Structure formats: C-alpha cells, structure tokens
Amino acid sequence: MLTNTFIDSAKVMSKGQVTIPKDVRGVLGVTVGDRVSFIVEGNSVRVVNSAVYAMQTLQKEMVGEAERAGLVSDDDVTALVKEIRDADKA
C-alpha cells in the first residue's frame, strides 16, 4: 500500500511549464536545481527524482552480477579489492 497517496494539481502555463506542488516535491525529495524524469506508460505519466530513478535502474541491472563474478562472500570482495589495489601500486 502506498503511504504517500494524495492528489494534487497544477496549471499548465503557455510554454508548457508546470510548477511541481510543494508536497509533491517533498515526496520526491527534489529541491532547486534537481532534475526529474517523466516516465510515460500508456496515457499516464510518472514524475520521479532523476537521481533516485537512475540508482534504482542501476541496482536492477546489477542484480546477480556479484555471483556471476564469483563474489559470494565478504572475503571474496575483500580479496578482489586487495588485488585491484595491489595492481594499481605496481
């Protein structure tokens, strides 16, 4: 169930600009200078925080990559980091 479910509206201005209502900005976690993405699904549009959306997309793409690389434990990761650091020193 969505915890932040509410309806808000804004007027489209002559140049197609819309001010995102304050409560919506708060839910999205966006402030001055941040970017938002518009995800069009059929005749609906979702507005999302671009940085959060990019991170979520990256996380979905990376699912299972550690296992495919043979990194199944903390010791495996530590060994890989040590190997990379040692290679950088050489």
CA distance 20 to 10: 7
What does DSSP assign to residue 81? H
Amino acid at 70: G
pLDDT of the residue at 66: 87
CA distance 54 to 50: 6
Q: What is the pLDDT along the chain (90 residues), one digit of tens a residue?
A: 556 788 899 999 999 999 999 999 999 999 999 999 999 999 999 999 999 989 999 999 999 988 888 898 999 999 999 999 999 887
pTM over 0.75: no
Nearest of 24, 19, 20, 25 to residue 5 by alpha carbon: 24
Q: Which position has the token pair 């209502």?
A: 21
Amino acid at 49: N
